[in-house]
Amino acid sequence: MAKKILVAVFSASGVTKAVGEEIARVADADFFEIVPQELYSSDDLNWMNKKSRSSVEMNDPTARPEIAGKVADMDSYDTVIVGFPIWWGAAPRIIDTFLESYDFSGKKIVPFCTSGGSGVGRSDSALHKDVSGDVKWAKGRQINRPNETVIRRWLNEVL
């Protein structure tokens, strides 16, 4: 029986969404966009302003921005590929919200990130705290462009 794969991404500017859509296409997977209940404005994303919404959230480890919508049938997936941009060297807090919202027992979670400067770093392993139970984690990977060759090679390593 073929494994069922979900690609779930949060994308503030569209870059991560484009990569996630290509991963879903190459992997023949379903795609789910993690959309915040309250969309981020450009002012919210101004990382140089310590009072911007994203700065406040990233400085508060307990922040859990609400998500608009849910994955219809999370139980049906064997593997969940989770994509996010790197904010302040880590996954945005909405990824914590997403991971804490479902039971991933018996699943494999495969993180990927996009970033203009830093790589995955510890952002992927830091997410382990959000998930309990029997979960297999693949090592995270930075993928900044929707490149089929790179994505196919990576999927062969992690799936």
Chain segment 44-59, per-residue pLDDT in tens: 999 889 999 999 999 9
Q: What are the average pLDDT values for consecutive 10-residue runs of the chain, which has 159 residues? A: 88 95 97 97 92 95 97 96 91 96 96 79 73 89 90 95
Query: Quick one: pLDDT at residue 139?
Result: 86
Which tokens in the block code for residue 95? 């990824």
Query: Quick one: pLDDT at residue 89?
Result: 83
Beta bridge partner(s), residue 84 = 113
Which class is domain 5-158? alpha beta
| Crossing angle of helices 15-27 and 148-158, rounded to 10° | 60
Query: Quick one: pLDDT at residue 53?
Result: 95
Domain ranges in the chain?
A: 5-158
